[in-house]
Structure 1
Amino acid sequence: MENPPTKPDGETNSVRPIKISGRSHGDIARYYFRQVKDSLTTRLSKFIIAIVLGFLFVIALIAFILWISLRPHRPRVRVEYFSFPALGNGAGAGRDAHTITFNVTVRNSNQNIKIHYDAVLVKVSYDGQTIGNASFPRRFYQGAKNTTVFAGSITGAALNASSQHWTRLVAGASRGLVVFGLDLTSTIWFKVGSSFKSRKQRMHTNCGVGVGTDGMLAAAYKDRICPMYFN
């Protein structure tokens, strides 16, 4: 077995860098440095993203809470009183002297929102035909947690039911109940604080009004919230 070659006296063996998988120690150090740097960059990016997402979540939560608390509720319309004495009297011939009297309440149930109204029109109909109307032309605004009363009457020649409708009205009253339609329409918008205003909307309500043999609003129709829609 041969001995490994030796160098002449006076010469020393030089130590060369050991390569691992074809890389020097310098390459390995740079590799690990890049790994650590990339890891720190990734962590920093994730941290920033987490902060941004958390901030957006808080903003969305605040916006949702504000929307819930400031979301405007529709006005609540009720017919509190309605009378048509002519039906109770069963009189048809002298209808020009008869009067419909009504009392309608509009409630703003919002906590911090005002409602502005343009002119309000009240229309009474029977069997799809308008038999009279009344208008409240003055604009007004309704404060939060406030109720407004629209009281009026339709009388004399303003009752424009045809003879056929009048006959059917009296016949219905003799059977115990006549159901009218009472519609309330207006253009409204909501106001939050002193600056924010919603767009204007056309409000329509349609209240069923049952009148008994005495010509008065039937008990079953009292304190009903009227259906409402906007366009």
Structure 2
Amino acid sequence: MSSYTEIPVQTPHPHPQTTTTPTPTPTTRLTTRPRIKHPGTRYYVHRVKESLTTRVSKFLCSCFLGLLFIVGLIAFILWLSLRPHRPRVHVNSFTVTGIAPDNGIQNSIISFNVSIRNPNQNVDIYYDEVDGTVYFREVKIVTVVLLYPFYQPNKNTTFANGTLSLASLSVTDSWPQIMANGTVDFRLELISAIRFKVASWMTRKHRMHADCAVLVGSDGQISPTSKNKRCSLYFY
């Protein structure tokens, strides 16, 4: 009896296959733009009205500032042209006769000439009586009326002459000591009340005080340093 023996055949195991996990493809995310809401007609009408109001306001402000500047400039020019200036007083001559270097002043005659000028362009001046007083070393000698009330138009000069007699002049110091510098100190004072007239408007009265220092030489004539010198002027 024959027997058949089957040889087992070993079936080779298959190699394990490496399985790769498929990489998921990135999905593109669709982004949707927000819907822009366009302004309506009312919005544009409001913007136009606002812009127009702003422009009109700026225009009115510019006109107002320009008008204010022009008015201020005109007022400043008028103030400069109509502002009253003080009169100008000058001593043109001053003579003292009878000055002796040793004996002082005896039987002397003092004569002087002053000019009063109105320097204003459009302003007139009204003067009350003008009084002139001569001082010697702050000692009052005499007072005379130089001018009676008068009217002086603009850019006009008025001259006044004064003459007075002096019998003698007593001084405490010796005359050579007084004449040490070769000159004698006198002082001429003018006092009046004035009013300015601008167009048809008249100002109130102002008390005018002119103080003129005068140096007289041994010959009795005014010193060159004092001739035509402008006097100090005060109001009170």
Residues 1:188 and 2:207 are matched in the alignment = no
Aligned residue pairs total 202
What's the TM-score once normalised by structure 2's chain length? 0.75
Structure showing the higher strand proportion among its residues: 2
Residue range with higher mean Cα deviation, 130-139 or 37-46: 130-139
Alignment gaps of 5+ in structure 1: 1-17
In the TM superposition, 1:22-171 aligns within 5 A as 28-88=40-100, 90-92=102-104, 95=106, 97-136=107-146, 138-156=148-166, 163-165=170-172, 167-168=173-174, 171=177
Question: Equivalents in 2 of 1:148, 1:73: separation in Å?
Answer: 16
Identity of aligned residues (%): 43
Output one character per residue of 1:91-141: Cα deviation in whole Å (capped at 9) or x when no partner: 44x74x322111111111222221111111211123223222212462111
CA deviation after TM superposition for structure 1 residue 211, in Å: 0.2
Larger radius of gyration: 2
Structure showing the higher helix proportion among its residues: 1
Question: Equivalents in 2 of 1:205, 1:52: separation in Å?
Answer: 47
Paired residues of 1:106 and 1:147 also in contact (CA < 8 A) = yes
What's the TM-score once normalised by structure 1's chain length? 0.77
Please state whether the residue corresponding to 2:225 is helix, strand or coil.
helix
Please state whether the residue corresponding to 1:105 is helix, strand or coil.
strand
Q: In 2 relative to 1, CA 57–169 (structure 1 residues): closer, same or farther, beyond 3 Å?
A: farther
Question: Equivalents in 2 of 1:206, 1:136: separation in Å?
Answer: 15
Please state whether the residue corresponding to 1:55 is helix, strand or coil.
helix
In structure 2, the partner of 1:220 is 225
Q: Once superposed, what is the RMSD of the aligned Cα atoms? A: 2.5
Question: Equivalents in 1 of 2:147, 2:228: separation in Å?
Answer: 26
CA deviation after TM superposition for structure 1 residue 86, in Å: 2.5
Question: Equivalents in 1 of 2:138, 2:43: separation in Å?
Answer: 86
